């Protein structure tokens, strides 16, 4: 697989400086409120291997590990990896925490679920297609992708400007990245979670299907 050339956009140094200086306005300072109901409802199956790409400070990694999941956390910034490892150690919990570029990294075996709340919106949109294809390859057929699509519509969009991070994850663009012949899409409307930083997240839970066997119902 040819690795994409990174365009202008956030670099590893950008993210490292943000985490080192604690200038992370996207950080709630707590677990995303969408996670607990998915665990309670069994959407994330007990004991599953759950990947958290762009794990940041690791709140969700800690919660998954505490709930009996086999959590795998990956981040580009060494400072984020350090914060996640420190959080787990303080709680006496164990998870696999990896420093890697997700456009080059691959898990040794497919995972059962992916918790995607921060990585897509942090990547320059020119990289979204490559990232989506890699994400699909990481997830076992029938696996679950929980996507928190960031909604941050800035005025520059009226002139076609690409502004971020975080980048606005328009639901039509997300459907193009995860097409219905490869993913099962639930019917809208999707739960919307307001964020203290002023943006919102649309919660979409997708199921990976074998190629050519999508199962989106009419009107979805």
Whether 76 maps to a domain, the answer reads yes
Gap between the Cα atoms of 104 and 15, Å rounded:
17
Gap between the Cα atoms of 220 and 218, Å rounded:
5
pTM of the model: 0.89
Tens of pLDDT along 116-164?
A: 998 999 999 999 999 999 999 999 999 999 999 999 888 887 888 888 8
- The CATH number given to whatever domain includes residue 202 is 3.40.50.150
Task: Count structural domains, the chain.
Answer: 1
25: which 2 tokens?
A: 């306005």
Q: Is residue 72 predicted with pLDDT exceeding 60? A: yes
Gap between the Cα atoms of 56 and 43, Å rounded:
23
Closest CA to 204 of 217, 188, 216: 188
User: How many C-beta neighbours within 10 Å does residue 10 have?
Assistant: 18
Within a 13 Å sphere around the CA of 65, how many CA atoms are in the beta-carbon half? 22
**Domain encompassing residue 58:** 12-24+32-208
């Amino acid at each position: 697989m040819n690795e994409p050339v990174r365009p202008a956009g956030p670099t590893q140094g950008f993210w490292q400086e943000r985490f080192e200086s604690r200038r992370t306005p996207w950080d709630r300072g707590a677990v995303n409120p969408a996670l607990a109901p998915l665990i309670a409802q069994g959407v994330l199956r007990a004991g599953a291997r759950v990947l958290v790409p762009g794990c940041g400070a690791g709140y969700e990694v800690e919660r998954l590990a505490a709930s009996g999941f086999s959590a795998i956390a990956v981040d580009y910034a060494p400072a984020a990896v350090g914060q996640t490892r420190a959080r787990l150690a303080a709680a006496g919990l164990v998870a696999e925490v990896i420093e890697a570029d997700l456009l080059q990294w691959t898990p040794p075996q497919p995972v059962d679920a992916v918790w995607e709340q921060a990585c897509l919106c942090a990547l320059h949109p020119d990289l979204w297609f490559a990232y989506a294809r890699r994400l699909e390859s990481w997830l076992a057929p029938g696996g679950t992708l929980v996507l928190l699509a960031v909604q941050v519509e800035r005025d520059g969009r009226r002139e076609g400007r690409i502004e971020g991070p975080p980048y606005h994850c328009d639901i039509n663009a997300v459907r193009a990245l995860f097409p219905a012949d490869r993913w099962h899409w639930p019917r809208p409307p999707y739960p919307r979670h307001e964020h203290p930083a002023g943006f919102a997240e649309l919660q979409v839970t997708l199921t990976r299907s074998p190629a050519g066997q999508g199962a989106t119902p009419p009107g979805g």
